Structure 1
Amino acid sequence: MATEIKVPTLGESVTEGTIGEWLKQPGDAVAVDEPIASLETDKVAIEVPSPIAGVMQELKAEVGDTVEVGAVIAIVTAGAAPAAKGEEAGRKEQQADEGKEERSDAASSDSSQTLSPAVRRAVLEHGIDPSTVKGTGKDGRLTKEDVIAAAKAKGDTPAPAASTASEAPAPAQAGARGTERVKMTRLRQTIAKRLKSAQDTAALLTTFNDVDMTAVIEARTKYKDLFAKKHDIKLGFMGFFAKAAHLALKDVPSVNAQIDGDEIVYHDYVDISVAVSAPNGLVVPVVRDVDKKGFAQIEKDIADFGKRARDGSLTMDDMSGGTFTISNGGVFGSLMSTPIINPPQSAVLGLHRIEDRPVVVGGEVVVRPMMYIALSYDHRLIDGREAVTALKIIKEAIEDPTRMLIDL
C-alpha cells in the first residue's frame, strides 16, 4: 500500500519550507519514523519522518523546491525492499569501480543511521567511518563535533577517501584566483531579511556601560562545585545576566515591550531569546518564564538549547516568542559591538569578553576583570533615559549579585 508523505505543520505563522536534502532515494528501505528529508524553514531545519516502514517509491519535489504545509513530497510503499536482479553482480562491479563515490547512507544502512549534510561533509573531509563513532546527538545520531573529535583522536587529518579523489579538481596554478557561488540557505536568507528589516523599520540606538565581573567570578569559583553536584549543571555567566535582565525589564517595562501597529504591547512575563551559534547560522531559542526560574533551570535550558542547535534538533516552538534577547559575542572574543534587535522585540543586550583592565576603586588604581555591555534599543518606543537606566540596573546586579536575591 502506498502512503503519501506530506509537509508537516511547521509552527505558528510558518506556511512553507524548502527541501534542503533528500535523506532517502527511490528504492531505499525506510523504517518507521526514520527521517526521509531535511526541510528548511524561516527559523530552523527540521526532518520529515516516514509514518510507515517500507520502500521509498517516488520523490515529488527536488532539493531547493519551496513546498507548502500539507503538500505531498514523497510516496512510500509498505513492505520490504525487493531484491534487484543481478544484485550480486552489481555489487561486485561497484567494488571494482573504486572511482565512484559511495553514498554515506548506504554505508550505514545496517544501523539505519542518517547523516545530516554538515556531518556528511565532515565524514568525507576527515576520512572517518561513521559506523565506528558513537553519536551524542538526539537518539544517538552523529554530530559534526563527534566526527571532529574522532578525527583528533586518530592524531591526524586524513586526506579524502580514494572514492572521491578521482573527482577532485586539479590544484590551481600558483597565483590563480577563483570564486565559488553557494546558494544561501533559507535560514540565512531569513536572517538577512529580518536584520535588514530591523534597520529599516526601527530607530536603532545603542548605549554602553562596563561591568566589574569580580563578584560574579568569585561567586562561581566559590559555589561551582556544590552547584554542579546539586543541579548536575555548570554555573555559567548567562544565568547571572538573565536574572539581572529580569530585574531591569521589571523596573523598565518598555524594554520588555514591542510595537504592534499603533499600539504598544507590554508583557507581564520575561521570555529571553538567547543567541546560539548553529551550523547554518545564528538562532535564538527562547528561555521562557525567566522571572519564575532559578539559576539552575536557566542554565539547564541554555545548555540544552546549545546542544540541540549544534545537532539540528531545535523545534519551531523553541524559537517562537521571546520578549528580550541576550547575545554573547564574548565567547568569540568580541570586545565591543552594537547588536541588532530581534524583531518584533525592542531591545537586545550584548555581552563581550572579560579582560583585566586598570580601574579606579576607592581612589586607587586596581586591576579588575571588566566587561563592556551594550543595550541596543528601538528609540521609537524606548527613551534614552529608560535604556540607560535598564543597562545600569543590569550592571549593578552583576557587580552586587545579592541584589538579585533581595529584588533590588
Structure 2
Amino acid sequence: MTEFRVPKLNNNDTSYVLVEWLAEDGQEVRDGDPIVLLETSKATEEVEAPADGVLRRLLAEGAECEPGQVIARLLASADEPPAETTETPGAGSGGNPGEPQASTPPGDVSGVIVTAPARELIEAHGIAMERVYALGRKVIRRTDVEELLGAREPSPAVADDAAVEDDATTGDDATTGGDDAQWITLSRAQQRTAEVVERSRREIPAAFTAMNVDVTEVLSLARDLTRRLRTLVGLPEMVVKAAGGLLDRFPMFFAQPGPGPRARRAATADVGVTVDVGRGLFIPVVRDAGNRPLAEIAGDLVGFRKTALTGSFRERDLQGGAITLTLHTHDGIVFAVPIVFPGQTCALSLTAPRTEVVQDGPGFAVRKTATVGLAYDHRYINGRDAAEFLGELRTALESPARFLTENG
C-alpha cells in the first residue's frame, strides 16, 4: 500500500481545494497517471499517482486539504482492505474530524461541487445558487461564476434572512463586524497577494531608481516583427529579451538571496511577467529569456494572456522567476514602484509609451518614451549598480536592431 499525500505546490498557500478526482474510487491507476485536480490561490494543478495501485479515495471533492495530508491510498489489489484513516480535513473544511467535507450546500442532491474561490465570488455578488446549478456542471470554478456575471441580471437583495448583530454598547460596526453588506471580502488570490506584499515590505529594504527610455525605434521594429513573425511583439516582449541578455554582466540582479552574506547565482535568466486581465494578478515565468529567440518569448507571453483569461495556470508556470517585470500599461502612468518579491533581489517596472516633444537642433521632434524602473534589495545591490543596469537596458532598447542581431 502507498499513501498518497498532498504535495507542496507553492510557498504561499497553506491549504488547497480538492476540485475533482480524475480517477474513480477503486480504479486501477498507473504510476504517473493524473488522479486528482487541486486548486491553489493562483493555479489549478493535476497531481499524478506516485505508484501503481488501486485508488481508495479518503477526501471528498470540494474539501480543503493541506500539504502532506493523506487524501488517498494506492492498494496492491482491489481485494486489499484499506487501512483505517485518521486523517482530518484540511483547514477551513469544517465538520467532524475524519469526515470528508464538500462545498455542496446541505440538502442539495445534484452532486455539484463549488470551489472556494467560486464561493467567494458568489457571496460577494449575491448570486442565487439556482443560477449556479443551472450551468449543469459538476464542478463550479471561479471562471464559471465570472461567466454568469458577464450576462447577469440585476443583483438580488443580499441575504434577506441574514442576522445583523446590533452592538448597543459602542454602535461601532467596524469593531463588531456590522452588516455583511458593508464589507468586501478579498478573494483567495488577493489574500495571497496581500501576504506576499506584506512580507516584502517587512523583510526587504528596497530602494528605487527609474530612467526614461526613447522607445520610438523599438516600437517601430516591434510592429514590423509582429507582421513578420505573425505573433504579437510589443515593448514588454522587447524588455524581457533585453533584460534576459544582462544576466552575465549583472548576475546579482538575477540571484537568489541566501543565508549570510551570499546569493545563489541563476543559471538562466528566468523572467516573471505580471499578467492581469481583471481576474487576479498572475506572474508566469518566461524561461531562459537571454538565450531564446524573441519569437518564442512573444509566443510565451501571448499564451500567458490567454491562460489568464481562463485562470488555468499550472503552478510550474508561476514558479522559478529570477527577476520580475511588472507592467503598468494604462495611459497616464508616469512611473511605478514594484515590490521586490521574496527570493529575488530586484524587480523591473515598465509604463506605457507616451508622446513627448523634444528639441531637435533648431526645431522640434516628436518621440515616444517609457519609464523603466528598478526596485532593488539594497543589501545586495547599490545605487550605482542599479543605474548601470538600467543604462544597459536603455541602450539595448534604444538600439534594438543591433541588440537583436547580437542576441538573437
Query: What range describes the TM-score normalised by the shorter chain of this pair?
Result: 0.5 to 0.7
Question: What is the aligned counterpart of 1:220 among 216, 219, 222?
Answer: 222
Q: Deviation of residue 309 (structure 1)? A: 2.9
CA distance in 2, matches of 1:7, 1:361: 67
Look up the match of 1:159.
Answer: 154
User: Which residue number corresponds to residue 288 of structure 2?
Assistant: 289
**Aligned residues: CA RMSD:** 5.0
Structure-1 separation of matches of 2:11 and 2:116:
29
Q: CA deviation at 1:7?
A: 5.3
Which runs of structure 2 are paired with 1:385-396 in the superposition (5 Å)? 385-396=384-395
Aligned: 1:18 with 2:19: no
Residues 358 and 73 of structure 1: CA distance in aligned 2, closer, same or farther (over 3 Å): farther
Matched residues in 1 for 2:278 and 2:2: separation? 31
Q: Which amino acid aligns with 1:117?
A: A
Deviations 1:153-174 (A, max 9, x none): xxxx5335xxx6796689xxxx
Where structure 2 has 5 or more consecutive residues not aligned to the other structure, the ranges are: 22-26, 50-55, 79-104, 163-172
Correspondence for 1:308: 307
1:201 matched to which residue of 2? 203
Which residue is equivalent to 2:264?
265
Q: Identify the residue that residue 118 of structure 2 maps to in structure 1.
A: 117
Name the residue aligned to 2:93: none
Cα distance change of structure 1 residues 309 and 103 upon mapping to structure 2, 3 Å threshold: farther
Query: How far does the alpha carbon of each residue in 1:246-289 deviate from its partner, in whole angstroms, 9 at most, with x for none?
Result: 23333222222232112122224211011122766422211111
* Distance 1:116-1:268 versus aligned 2 partners, 3 A rule: closer
Structure 1 counterpart of 2:383: 384
Is it true that 1:192 corresponds to 2:194 in the alignment?
yes
Match of 1:247 in 2: 245
Which SS does the other structure have where 1:358 is aligned? strand
1:310 CA displacement? 3.2
Structure 1 position 398, deviation (Å): 1.5
User: Alpha-carbon deviation of 1:38?
Assistant: 5.3
Unaligned runs of 5+ in 1: 25-29, 79-100, 136-140, 152-156, 171-175
Instruction: Report how far residue 364 of structure 1 moved.
Output: 3.7
Cα gap change, 1:132 to 1:268, in 2 (>3 Å): closer
| TM-score (norm. length: structure 1) | 0.66
| 1:338 matches 2:337 | yes
Distance 1:168 1:358 in 2: 58
Deviation of 1:367 after TM superposition, in Å, equals 2.4
Deviation of the 1:384 alpha carbon: 1.2
Change (3 A) 1:130 1:397: farther
Quote the offset at 1:350 in angstroms: 0.3
Residues 45 and 190 of structure 1, relative CA distance in 2, 3 Å threshold: same
Q: Name the counterpart of 1:39.
A: 39
Q: Distance in 1 between matches of 2:119 and 2:390?
A: 38
Could you say which residue in structure 2 is the equivalent of 1:256? 254
Q: Distance in 1 between matches of 2:268 and 2:48?
A: 38
* Counterparts of 1:104 and 1:281, CA distance in 2: 30
CA distance in 1, matches of 2:249, 2:158: 65
Aligned counterpart, 2:98: none
Amino acid at match of 2:237: G
**Percent sequence identity over aligned pairs:** 22
Give the C-alpha shift of residue 320 in structure 1. Answer: 1.7
1:277 is paired with a residue whose SS is coil
1:353 is aligned with what amino acid? A
* In structure 1, C-alpha distance between the alignment counterparts of 2:107 and 2:228, rounded to whole Å: 48
CA distance in 2, matches of 1:130, 1:356: 50
Deviation (angstroms), 1:218: 1.5
CA shift, 1:204, in A, is 0.9
CA deviations 1:111-159 (Å, max 9, x no partner) are: x99997289849958x9899899x9xxxxx966776566x3xxxxx533
Give the structure with the larger helix fraction. 1
Q: Deviations over 1:313-356 (max 9, x none)?
A: 22221122111111101247533111111121111110112221
Alignment check: 8 A CA contact 2:38 2:44 kept: yes
Render the CA deviation track for 1:191-241: whole Å, top value 9, x for unaligned: 33332332233221111111122112212333432221xxxx222222211
Paired residue for 1:365?
364
Instruction: Sort the Cα spacing of 1:260 and 1:240 in 2 relative to 1 into closer, same or farther, 3 A.
Output: same
SS at match of 1:321: coil
SS of equivalent to 1:360 = strand
TM-score, structure 2 as length reference:
0.66
Give how far 1:369 is off: 1.8
Instruction: Give the whole-Å Cα distance in 1 for the aligned partners of 2:160 and 2:222.
Output: 50
